[in-house]
Structure formats: structure tokens, C-alpha cells
Amino acid sequence: MILRFTSARERIGAMPFYHRPPADRGPLRPRSPMVPSQATAPPTPAEMAEAVGVGYAVVDLETTGLSPTTDSILEVALVLTDAAGRVERSWSTLIDPGAGVDVGPTRIHGLVAEELSGAPGLDDVADLLVADLAGRAVVAHNARFDVGFLTQALGARGLLDRGARVPRVCTMEWARHFMTTPSRRLTTCCEVAGVEIGRHHNALDDALAAAGLLRHYLEVGRQRGEEPVAWAGALLDAHRFSGWHWDAARAQAGVELLTARTTPGAERARPGSQAS
């Protein structure tokens, strides 16, 4: 009897997810991201009629690190737009994380403890933040990061229902649906789309840049005849979302406490560099 031993590769077949594509493959072509809203049927015309006029809240955060559970928010910026992506108003503020908290990588966000001292705490402006997020789809470039921090911070303060999924649009995830780009980094996407960008890791500049990308995506979609918008489900979810809770008086008081940064962020890296 002849025994034949087969390799693991022969038994289970090729494993394409280990295949490394050629380094010179060139820019990736446009594609749609696999986002939760695509897992279900798109909203019907009647459902989308509910969401007519739903706007966007473009957010950017600077933090002490990458973990929503162990790191702290140092700066918040919010850009509110209408349904067409036109900016209605914006604000930003530094956040004092509290005594003894390490501010993290100053070389990245440009913030030091002395500048944060005297700024409002997150408790002071959280109601204002929630009041402005409510009724809008939350937009961010890498929404998983920013919305993750918001979910943790606002949920812990009772301003967001535990377990609630915030309706969101990620300009990073949607980048290759609307344009051809070698990278989904904010700097590269803005360069390709012709969106003006300011200082890197300055929360307001980054939020305005993401708002510019959103506006570009909406215009490209309109030119293609995409109706409703590609992320229609997020708009309907935002219209129906009831997970936000805030105190109107505290929200109004928070306006007076906003403290914008006085120092710039990091220099913008040129597209193709190693900075993100």
C-alpha cells in the first residue's frame, strides 16, 4: 500500500487573503464600502421622504491616545451642514482632561497641558455637543475612531443610550466610491478632490476638510444621478434616532465656555509621505 501525504494547502485550498498584491498596482479604482446600511434593503421613497432635509454634523477629535476607554478627548470641533453639505455654522473647543492626565503625543496634536488648563471639561460642553449632533448624521474621516470616543464619553454621562449605534457617514470609507485615490488619508483625499485643508491635527481644520470631502461626494453623486444618496440609510436612521439626551440650559451655558486653541496643529504632510 502506498501512502500519499497531502499538504495543508492541498487539503484546504488556496488562501487568497494571504496573497500580497504587486507593489506597482497603481491607484485603486472607485468602489463602495461595505457598511452596515448596505446589509439591508435601501430605504423606500416613502421612507426617504421622512429624511428630507436631514443635515450633517462633521466632527473631529484630538485625543491623548487611541483607546476610547482609557484615553481622553483634548479637543472637539463640529461643523454643521445642511443636506447639500453647505456649512451652516461651526465651533471648536479645547478640553481640559483633568489634573494629572498625560496629554499624550504633543508632536502630533500640538497641545500641551498648560494650554489645556482653564479650558472647559468635557462635562461642561457635552450637552451642547449632543444638542448639535441630534437629528443629524454624524460625519468623520475615520468615523470608527471619532464616533467610538463620542459613544464612550457621552454614554458614560447618560447623554447617549447604552448600546445605541450612532448614525454615521465615514468620508474615509466612502472615498473610493466617489474618486480614484492611492490612499484614503485625509490629506490625500482632499488633494484628489481639490478640497482646501489647513493644519494637520487641528480639530477644526480637519473637520472643515472632512466637510469639504462630504460636499464633494454629494456633488459627484448628483452628477452620476445617484438618488437617493449612497448613504441614504444613515440619513433615515439619523431622522429616527432617539438615543441622544441633553439638558437645554446646560447646552446654552456651554456656548459661553468654548475655548478655541491658540496654537496651530502640526504641519501638513505632503501626499505620499508617511504622516497620516
Q: Residue 37: inside a domain, yes or no?
A: no
Q: What is the pLDDT of residue 19?
A: 34
Q: Residue 70: inside a domain, yes or no?
A: yes
Q: What is the pLDDT of residue 140?
A: 99
Q: What is the pLDDT of residue 263?
A: 77
Q: What is the CATH number of the domain that holds 82?
A: 3.30.420.10
First to last CA, the chain: 61
Q: What residues make up the domain containing 191?
A: 44-255
- Per-residue cell: 26: 497603481
Pairing of strands 73-81, 87-94: antiparallel
Q: What is the pLDDT of residue 82?
A: 99
Is residue 64 a contact partner of residue 101, using CB atoms and an 8 Å limit? yes
| 177-224 confidence digits (pLDDT tens) | 999 999 999 999 999 999 999 988 899 999 999 999 999 999 999 999
- Provide the CB-side half-sphere exposure for 11 (13 A, CA): 5
Sequence letter at residue 258: L
Q: Residue 28: inside a domain, yes or no?
A: no
Low-confidence ranges of the chain (pLDDT < 70): 1-40, 265-276
Phi, psi of 58 (to 5 degrees): -90, 125
Distance CA 31, CA 177 (A): 4
Q: Residue 10: inside a domain, yes or no?
A: no
Distance CA 132, CA 49 (A): 22
- Give pTM, 2 decimals: 0.83
| 10-40 confidence digits (pLDDT tens) | 444 443 333 333 344 444 444 555 444 444 6
Q: Residue 223: inside a domain, yes or no?
A: yes
Q: Residue 26: inside a domain, yes or no?
A: no
For residue 236, give the nearest of 36, 101, 75 by alpha carbon: 36
Residue 150, Cβ neighbours under 10 Å: how many? 26
Q: What is the pLDDT of residue 160?
A: 99
Domain count, the chain: 1
